Amino acid sequence: MTQHTKEREGRREATPMPPPPDPRPAGSGHRAEKSWAVLFASPYLAHLVLLTAWPFLALTYLSFTDYDTLSSPNWIGLDNYTRLLRDEDFWNSLLNTGLFALIYVPLQTVLALVLAVGLNQRLRFMPLLRGAYFVPVVSSWVVVAYVADAVFNPRTGSANTVLGWFGIDPQTWLDSPALVIPTLALVAVWKGVGYMMVLFLAGLQSIPGELYEAAEMDGAGPVRRFWHITVPAVSGTTFLVLVLSTISVLQAFEQVYVMTGGEPGGASEVTVLYMYRQGFEYFQMGYAAAVAWVLFGITLVLTLFQLRLQRKWVHYA
Amino acid sequence: MLATAVALTATSACGGGGDDAAGGDVLTLGYYAEAGGPADGTMRALVEEFTKANPGIKVKIETADYDEFYKRLRTQLAGGKAPDVWLSDGVLVQEFAGRNSLRDLTPYAAGLNLADYYGIDLIKKGDPQGRLFAFPQGAQSTALFYNKAIFAKAGVEPPTADWTYDDLLAAAKKLTRDTNGDGKTDIYGFRAHSPSFVESWWPMVKAFGGDVLADDGKIAIDSPQSRAAFTWMNRAMHEERAAPDPVTTEALGKSQILFPSGIVAMQFGIYARIQTAAQGKIDTGVVPLPKGPDGRRGDLANVNSWVINRAASEAKAESAWKWIKFFAGEGPQTKWMSIGEAIPINRKVAQSAAFLRPSTPPTDRKPFIDALDTADDLGLNPVWSEYTAAITKQVTGALSRRIGIDEALRTAQADAQAAIDRFRPAG
């Protein structure tokens, strides 16, 4: 809340205005207003109840059942959750997802900001360049997988050619247990950075030019201006980008399904792919529901943590 | 996403059947095929022929590609909206039967002479009580494919029915070449690894005397015989380098394009691979799989089959059975044979000259029939997808040399058996 707003609110508190007289008869008008309010809110409420609250409750119930989708759920108490604790494949999928997030989220955030700053210029071909960075965002994962194969194919890909220029041995990229997640994260950044860049561009364009002019007159160079004006001024956008990136990486599915299917040997099996397999391929929807619940819990905790942390570093204008 | 899907399926899971969903007297028929491809076209033509011969039956077709078809089918079954009759991959029959989704076709088939059809015993073997939950539609058995041109160019004698695994490896070494001198192998003698394990490690394990699922329903992969089979594969791929290892196989463009592209001279292939070899204009020959140390070939077969939805009404089940009988007849089987997708399950058609000695390669298709006669099933049970995935994960690790063979087999045995033990039969 800005100082200006606080002052205005302070004045309102100091000289409270009496409420205007209601010309309508008491009671019936108020009820009518309420009915209208409920009517207008009903699509949202229906959506909330049918597509959020009810599925959520059903998911919770099913996570305590053995449910193969073809016969009635059978209550098994905490069995699914205790099985999760012992399930090495589940923990492996969480580990893979965590590693994916650790590479993807910071890399995409930094790269998107750098690109946005670079492209926030009034030059002739800038719109074209911005468009070029946005093309992967609107491309399907199948197309992206073909592009990635052209780069990371161990025999014919350009990545190994480049490594060869520096005398580095060719790598097997998506077929290497050690490199598959970093490679997937790089491809995900390539696909998603354009979208985050647009968010940063919007944030950058709202920074008053006078701030840069004043800093320049005070002798601040481009790096200091970036650190002391740009970075704090877009911290709200940075926070948004961080939250969106974290949530999207925890939900990563399509990319992994299309590009590796969890291979090699489960080294790229992320949690949502693992959940999908259990529910939709192995008829274990109750178990998949338990996985979904745990993943939801992790997402919630991470988001709350980010929200709490933002008070320390996000500056809202 | 999962929450909504789960809730919607749970809401409808215990209700209705295919009955109301199909709408009136329309028989809903589902199958997987590439849209507009030869299989789709032929199937539609046969449906038209069937409805002309049975004017009282109207058929509504539901089709999609393989992955999409099964994804949709599982949801449809949960919601009571599945087709009345559908084409099932043979390996999935027990997954649906074990969860009470299929009709037992034993009484329907009582009026037929079952000896006239291939695959009946293999389907029955999947059910502990020997019931017939599916009826054969088309069969796949495995043979050794070889590229005649590569053999001729290398001056290597073509394979014969007497070949052993030693002969296979010796020939594969001679055929492996770096044709352009860039230090990379351009032609490999053999494709040893494929994610399609019926064309890779499974028949090898059996040929070396091992098994994957024993007759008592227990996992049997952890055995000295399996170890010998995987040791042979690793030798072929990593030591002799006569076959691409799993990583190279993927890098070369996935396992199923290596033979049609002329990158490998030999492969184990199911019957349907004739189509892809023909697309690559390969002059293909086929012989029986090589013999293991005890003379076994490890022949396996998968029988794709028609199944009837348990929730379908009696009347619709009768109509569905008429369709199944129609499809198994000589005329439809001959038409289905012409697209080269499967071995006819009608013995008369499969024994015809048109099938055994066609004018297009491979011109001798008897090895597929011989294999079918002696083949075992692919260890069918209600958790087939899950337990085979658990084994494949470990086996691929061993064949990529990320883990040792002993450790891989031990883990595969435990994980696959755990998947079987977890299953609780419906009802």
Q: What is the pLDDT of residues A185-202, one digit of tens each?
A: 999 999 999 999 999 999
Which of the residues in chain B have pLDDT under 70? 1-24, 426-427
CA nearest to B186 within chain A: A155
Give residue B14's pLDDT.
40
At residue B124, the pLDDT reads 96
Residue A70 confidence class, pLDDT cut points 50, 70, 90:
confident
What residue in B sits closest to A155 (Cα-Cα)? B251
Percent of chain A residues topping a pLDDT of 90? 66
What is the model's pLDDT at position B47?
98
B252 closest CB neighbour out of A56, A155, A263: A155
Tell me the C-alpha distance between B313 and A256, whole Å.
41
| Residue A25: per-residue pLDDT | 55
Reported as a single tens digit per residue, the pLDDT across A256-310 is 999 999 988 899 999 999 999 999 999 999 999 999 999 999 999 999 999 998 8
Choose among B10, B385, B396: nearest Cβ to A58: B10
Q: Does B218 touch chain A (CB under 8 A)?
A: no
The predicted structure's pLDDT at residue B19: 42
Mean pLDDT of the region A61-86: 94
Of all residues in chain B, the one with the smallest CA distance to A67 is B10
Asked whether the predicted pLDDT for residue A153 surpasses 60, the reply is yes
Structure tokens at B250: 């993927």
What single-letter DSSP state applies at residue A52? I
Q: Residue A11 has what pLDDT?
A: 43
Contacts of B114 (CB under 8 A, 6+ apart): B120
CA diameter of chain A: 87
ipTM of the assembly? 0.82
Residues of chain A with C-beta less than 8 angstroms from the C-beta of B10: 58, 62, 67, 69, 73, 285
How does residue A128 score in pLDDT terms, banded at 50, 70 and 90?
confident
pLDDT at B78: 87
Residue A71 has pLDDT above 60, yes or no: yes
Q: Which pTM does this prediction carry?
A: 0.85
Q: Does B400 touch chain A (CB under 8 A)?
A: yes
Quick one: tokens of B371? 């294999």
pLDDT tops 70 at residue A26: no
User: Of residues B2 and A140, which shows the higher confidence score?
Assistant: A140
The answer to whether the Cβ–Cβ distance between A281 and B6 falls below 8 Å is no
**Is B4's Cβ below 8 Å from some Cβ in A?**
yes
pLDDT band at A21 (very low <50, low <70, confident <90, very high): low
Q: Greater confidence, A197 or A123? A: A197
Confidence check: pLDDT of A131 > 90: no
CA A130 from centre of chain: 21
Residues from A contacting B (CB-CB < 8 Å) are: 51, 54-59, 62, 66-74, 153-156, 172, 174-177, 251, 263-266, 275-277, 279-283, 285, 288-289, 292
Helix (H, G, I), strand (E, B) or coil at A5: helix
Please state whether beta strands B58-64 and B26-32 pair in parallel, antiparallel, or not at all (unpaired): parallel
Our CA-based measurement puts residue B273 at a distance from the nearest CA of chain A, in whole angstroms, of 23
Q: What pLDDT, on a 0 to 100 scale, did the predictor assign at position B9?
A: 46
Alpha carbons B363 and B354: distance in angstroms, whole number: 10
Spell out the alpha helix ranges (H) of chain A: 3-14, 28-47, 54-62, 79-86, 88-119, 126-134, 141-152, 158-165, 180-205, 209-217, 222-225, 231-233, 235-250, 254-259, 271-276, 285-313
If phi over 0 gives left and psi between -120 and 50 gives alpha, with beta otherwise, what is residue A201?
alpha
Q: Which of A59, A156, A176 is the closest to B2 by Cβ?
A: A59
Question: In a mutagenesis test of the B interface, which of A83, A276, A283, A300 is the best target, namely the one with the most B β-carbons within 10 Å?
Answer: A283
| CA end-to-end span of chain B | 29
> A130, A201 in Cβ contact below 8 A?
yes
Q: How far apart are CA A222 and CA B143, in angstroms?
A: 69
Whether the per-residue pLDDT at A3 is higher than 60: the answer is no
| Over residues A61-89, mean pLDDT | 94
State the pLDDT at residue B16.
38
DSSP string, B160-189: -TT-BHHHHHHHHHHH-B-TTSSSS-SBEE
The band of A2, judged by pLDDT with boundaries at 50, 70 and 90, is: very low
